[in-house]
Amino acid sequence: MKILAFESSCDETAAAVVEDGRRILSDVVLSQIDIHHRYGGVVPEIASRAHTEAICTVCERALREADLKPEEVDAVGVTNRPGLIGALLVGVNFAKSLAFTLQKPLIPVNHIEGHIAALYLAHPELEPPFLALVMSGGHSSLVEVRGYTAFLLIGSTRDDAAGEAFDKAGRVLGIGYPGGKEMDRLASLGNPDAIAFPPCAIRDHAFDFTFSGLKTAVINHTHNKKQCGEAIVPEDLAASFTKAVCAGIQSRLENAFAAFPHRKLVLAGGVAANSHIRKAAAETCRKCGATIFLPPPSLCGDNGAMIAAQAYYNFRAGITADESLNAYATSPFSFHP
């Protein structure tokens, strides 16, 4: 079954064709980073407009690269939650019109579930159940994936998302938006023990995260340094910040392995590209006797292939929609137990 799917929840306009949820026939991503860079973050109205301008192009390219005519696709998938509402609506309305015109099934997909499904594309042997840690610019969720369409959210952030924290720390250091990738590079060059930052774990909850204290600690550290006339060492700050993030992640994962029988961990979302987090999570998995499944860099950030992959499993579970399909900005996670 060949599914053409669209992703427009934030600042990437993407379309892809995936066969049977596992084989990528095409995967086209148009990033808006260059547009939002100058504002230091995503401007929702500008994002919606840019999606409108790009969506036909990504659709045509995804079909061409898959060597398919529109009528040869079997279904149309689309991210309809959560995300920027105006941005989501562009993809949802485009997908609705296309599905209606082609008289093909329309399949709604939760963006976070899509991030998890990205791993099916990279690891043919991966099947639920497993634990998944999804960390992106908008979410930090620890999930028990009971089946392809059965998810139990066991932990999440109480405040900022992991990617947001990397981007904010990056902004304090004056590196451009989004700062995650550059923070990763700087951290490799610095001393992780230079500054004692608080770990990103909630003390009285086994699986939840908090990133706001860490963000404040970064801001306080830079203010103090400036007031004392001392230089900030970006490499040391990035390394110490990353160490605190990794420590929090490791404690959440250890608790999850102690509480759940699964011995498979999936890392997903834009922040899963972070080399230090990948190493830290792998180390915890080794300690807990679990196998880790990592996404290739091309499937960490937002893309259409991950949405097409999850759309396949949603379709098999009977999750389809009609022309009344809507977009939802805040729907945190969907459960189909």
Binding site for ligand KG4 (CB under 6 A): 10, 136-138, 163, 166-167, 178-181, 183-184, 269-271, 273-274, 301-302
Q: Which of 98, 281, 302, 321 binds Zn ion (CB under 5 A)?
A: 302
Cβ contacts of 224-231, under 8 Å, gap ≥ 24: none
Tokens of 325: 């399909």
Q: At its nearest, how many Å lie between ligand KG4 and the CB of residue 275?
A: 7
Q: Which does 123 bind (CB under 5 to 8 A by kind): Zn ion, ligand KG4, none?
A: none
Q: At its nearest, how many Å lie between ligand KG4 and the CB of residue 276?
A: 8
The amino acid sitting at 228 is: C
Region near Zn ion per CB under 5 A, out of 215-223, 245-253, 276-284, 298-306? 298-306
If you ran DSSP here, which 8-state letter would residue 175 be given? P
Tell me how many residues contact Zn ion (CB under 5 A): 2
Q: At its nearest, how many Å lie between Zn ion and the CB of residue 11?
A: 10
**Judged by CB, which is closer to ligand KG4: 91, or 105?**
91
If you ran DSSP here, which 8-state letter would residue 216 be given? H
Q: Which residue is nearest to ligand KG4 (CB)?
A: 270
Q: Output the CA torsion sign for 189, 190, 193, 198.
A: negative
Q: How many whole angstroms separate alpha carbon 211 and alpha carbon 200? A: 5
**Judged by CB, which is closer to Zn ion: 149, or 303?**
303
**Judged by CB, which is closer to ligand KG4: 21, or 179?**
179
Cβ burial 153-188 (10 Å sphere, 16+ → b, else e): bbbbbebbbbbbbbbbbbbbbebebbbbbbbbebbe
Tokens of 154: 């066991």
Burial status of residue 150 (CB atoms within 10 A of its CB: 0-12, 13-18, 19 or more): middle
Q: At its nearest, how many Å lie between Zn ion and the CB of residue 237?
A: 26
- Smallest Cα–Cα separation from 272: which of 298, 235, 237? 298
**Judged by CB, which is closer to ligand KG4: 21, or 178?**
178
Q: At its nearest, how many Å lie between ligand KG4 and the CB of residue 301?
A: 3
Q: Which residue is nearest to Zn ion (CB)?
A: 136
Q: How many whole angstroms separate alpha carbon 247 and alpha carbon 244? A: 5
The DSSP bridge partners found for residue 3 are 18, 75
If you ran DSSP here, which 8-state letter would residue 296 be given? -
**Judged by CB, which is closer to Zn ion: 208, or 302?**
302
The amino acid sitting at 3 is: I
Q: Which does 167 bind (CB under 5 to 8 A by kind): ligand KG4, Zn ion, none?
A: ligand KG4
> Which 129-148 residues touch Zn ion, going by CB under 5 A?
136
**Judged by CB, which is closer to ligand KG4: 41, or 213?**
41
Q: At its nearest, how many Å lie between ligand KG4 and the CB of residue 272?
A: 8
**Judged by CB, which is closer to Zn ion: 14, or 126?**
14
Q: Which does 192 bind (CB under 5 to 8 A by kind): Zn ion, ligand KG4, none?
A: none
8 binds Zn ion, rule: CB under 5 A: no
**Would you list the DSSP string of 121-169?**
HH-TT--SSEEEEEE-SS-EEEEEEEETTEEEEEEEBSSS-HHHHHHHH
Burial status of residue 311 (CB atoms within 10 A of its CB: 0-12, 13-18, 19 or more): buried
Show Cβ contacts of residue 220 under 8 Å, excluding neighbours closer than 6 positions: none
**Judged by CB, which is closer to ligand KG4: 20, or 159?**
159
Binding site for Zn ion (CB under 5 A): 136, 302
